[in-house]
Structure 1
Amino acid sequence: MDEKSIIYVISDSIGETADQVTRAAAAQYEGAACDIRRIPYVSEKQTIKEIINEAKKHNSIIVYTMVIPELREYLEKEAQDQGLVYVDIMGPVIEAISHITNTKPTYKPGIIRQLDEEYFKKVEAIEFAVKYDDGKDPRGIKKADIVILGVSRTSKTPLSMYLANKNLKVANIPLLPEVEPPKEIFEIPSKRIFGLTSSPHKLNVIRQERLKALGLSFEANYANMDRILQELEYAESIMRKIGCPIIDVTNKAIEETASIILRIMKEDK
C-alpha cells in the first residue's frame, strides 16, 4: 500500500470488530501508510453508495461487518461494479454457524454490545447486593430497586443474589426487636419493599442446624422458640406498618419467592 491507501471500515453497528481486525492486519505491514476510516451505523443504501463512490477515487479497500443481508448484498454489488476490493468480516462466520447449528441468525446489528451491556448491568447488581447485604449500609435502601425485610434465616441473602442475577439492585435488612429499623424503609414507596416470613417450626430447625454448623449449643437464644415467635411478631408488625407485601417462604424455593416478587412488581407497573 502507498501513502494514498485507504481502508473504509463500514458497519451497520459501531464497527468495532471490523476496525480491530483491520488494524491488526494492517500492523503486519511495516512502513506501509494506511488510512483507516471507520463509518459506523450505516443503515441506508444511499449511504453505502456514497461511500463506494468516494472509495473508488482512491486506492481503497472496503472492509465491512453488515449483519442485515439486504445491505450486505447491496454493498458487495456496488463494490464489485466499481472494481473495488471488499472483505466481509462477519458474513462467512454467520453463515458457517447457521450451517452447523441448522438455525437462522437474528440479523440484529450491535447485538454483542447489547449483550455486553446486559452483562455489566448484572455485575453491577450483584456488587450492589453484596455491598448492601444484611443491613450493612442503610443508604442502599433508597438506591435499591427492591428492599427485602425479614428475620434471620428467611433466605434474604440468597434471594437478593438471585434477583441480582435478574439485573435488579437489592438491599436486604434484618429485623430484630432490639434494633430500631432504618428510617429509610419508611421513606420509600412500599411497593419496592417485600417482607419475608416463615413458620416458627421451620425457623427453629434451620437455626438449630446453623448453630450445629458453628459448633454452638442448641440452648442458645437464637434457636429458642419463644425468641423466634417474638422476632416474627415484631417483624410482621413492621411490615404491616409499611404496608408492603408479606411472603411466607416456609416451603418455597428461592426461585418461587423471586417469581412472586417479580410478578407483583410487574402488576404494580
Structure 2
Amino acid sequence: MARLHLHLLSDSTGETLEMIAKAALAQFEGAEIDRHFWPMVRSQQHLDRIMGEIVRNPGLVLFTLANAEIRERLENACHEAGLATVSALDQVTRSLSSLLGQEAHARPGRQHKMDEAYFARVEAIQYTIAHDDGLLWEEWEEADIVLAGVSRTSKTPTSIYLANRGYRTANIPIVVESPPPPALFGLRRPLVVGLTTSADRLIQVRRNRLLSLNQTPETDYVDQERVNKELKFARRMFADNGWPVIDVTRRSIEETAAAVINLVNERRGALSKANPGPKPV
C-alpha cells in the first residue's frame, strides 16, 4: 500500500482536525500515513509559505479555515496542483445554519475562547494532576469522579482525558497489601468508578511496562496467580461498595472515558428526579 500524505490546515490549534482525522483513519487498517500539521494559518502570506511543502508532498488536504479569502486561495492553489481538498466542518455548519436560521460567525478558534468553561477545564486538569495515584485523598470530596483499580488499568490516562473534558478526577491504585484510606468509602459528592480488565491483558501490559524500563519481566507483578488475586480483591471491593465497574480490556482510553461520563450523567439524572426542587407557582 502506497503512503498517503495528509495535510491538516487550521486557523486555530488544529485539535478539531486532528480528532476528525484520527477518527476517520481508524477505519482503515494498515494505512501508511504521513501527517503534515499546519496550525494557526491566518494570513495569505503564511499559506503561501507552506503551499510549496504541500505541493512537494502531494496528498489530501483537510482544512478548517474561517477566512473566506485564505480558504479560496488554498482551494485554488490545490486545484492548480491537482490536489484534493476537504473542508472538515462545511456540511455540519451548513446544516446548523439552515436549522438555526442564522449565518455562522467566521471567527478563527472561536471554540477555544477563554470563557468560563475554559477556565473550568484548566482547574480540572490542575486538580487531576495533583490527585493522581492516591495523592491528597483528604480532598477527594471535591472531585467529580474517583477512579479505582489495580495497577495498569489505565487510571491515569483516563483521568487526564476526563479532566480535559472538565471533570475533576482523582484516582487510586487498589493494592492487596495496602488498603485505601477509609475516606474512599465515605465519599458523597464524587462518583467512584471501578476499572478492571482481564488477567491475561493485565499481565501483558505490565510485562511491556517492565521491559520498557529495562527491568526483568519475571516478578510477582506479572505472576498469574498474584494478578488473579489482585483482580479478585478489587472486584470484591467494588461490589461491596456498590460502585459501577467498567472493564477496560477491549476499550480505548476515549471509550472508557465516554463510559464514565455516561455513568456521571445517569447519576445526575437520577439525582435530579429524586430532588426535582420547588414547583413553579
TM-score normalised per structure 2? 0.56
**1: CA distance between counterparts of 2:118 and 2:137?**
26
Letter in 1 for 2:149: G
**2: CA distance between counterparts of 1:198 and 1:139?**
28
Residues 147 and 194, structure 1, Cα contact 8 Å, conserved in 2: yes
Residue in structure 1 matched with residue 159 of structure 2 by the alignment: 160
Residues 151 and 173, structure 2, Cα contact 8 Å, conserved in 1: yes
What's the CA shift for 1:195?
A: 0.2
Query: 1:219/1:114 Cα in 2 relative to 1: closer, same or farther (>3 Å)?
Result: closer
**2: CA distance between counterparts of 1:240 and 1:190?**
19
**1: CA distance between counterparts of 2:128 and 2:253?**
15
Return 5+ residue gaps in structure 2 as ranges: 1-65, 72-89, 94-102, 269-281
**2: CA distance between counterparts of 1:251 and 1:233?**
19
Residue in structure 1 matched with residue 135 of structure 2 by the alignment: 136
**1: CA distance between counterparts of 2:267 and 2:117?**
24
Query: 1:216/1:266 Cα in 2 relative to 1: closer, same or farther (>3 Å)?
Result: same
Q: Given the alignment of the two structures, is residue 204 of structure 1 paired with residue 203 of structure 2, yes or no?
A: yes
Segment drifting more, 151-160 vs 119-128:
119-128
Residue in structure 2 matched with residue 177 of structure 1 by the alignment: 176
Is the partner of 1:139 in helix, strand or coil? helix
Residues 191 and 268, structure 1, Cα contact 8 Å, conserved in 2: no
1:1-269 → structure 2 map (5 Å cutoff): 104-105=103-104, 115-189=114-188, 192-269=191-268
What's the CA shift for 1:191?
A: 6.9
Query: 1:164/1:121 Cα in 2 relative to 1: closer, same or farther (>3 Å)?
Result: same
Q: How many residues align?
A: 172
**2: CA distance between counterparts of 1:106 and 1:263?**
31
What's the CA shift for 1:216?
A: 1.1
TM-score normalised per structure 1? 0.58
Residues 197 and 247, structure 2, Cα contact 8 Å, conserved in 1: yes
What is the root-mean-square deviation in Å for CA atoms of aligned residues?
2.6
Is the partner of 1:217 in helix, strand or coil? coil
Moved over 6 A (4+): 98-103, 111-114
Larger Rg: 1
Letter in 1 for 2:255: E
Segment drifting more, 134-143 vs 240-249:
134-143
Letter in 2 for 1:211: L
1:119-153 CA deviation, whole Å, 9 max, x = no partner? 21111111111100000221232110000000000
1:88-139 CA deviation, whole Å, 9 max, x = no partner? xxxxxxxx957877972469xxx89974322211111111111000002212
Residues 125 and 168, structure 1, Cα contact 8 Å, conserved in 2: yes
Is the partner of 2:180 in helix, strand or coil? coil
Residues 148 and 195, structure 1, Cα contact 8 Å, conserved in 2: yes
**1: CA distance between counterparts of 2:132 and 2:112?**
30
Letter in 1 for 2:239: R
Residues 141 and 189, structure 2, Cα contact 8 Å, conserved in 1: no
Identity of aligned residues (%): 39
Return 5+ residue gaps in structure 1 as ranges: 1-95
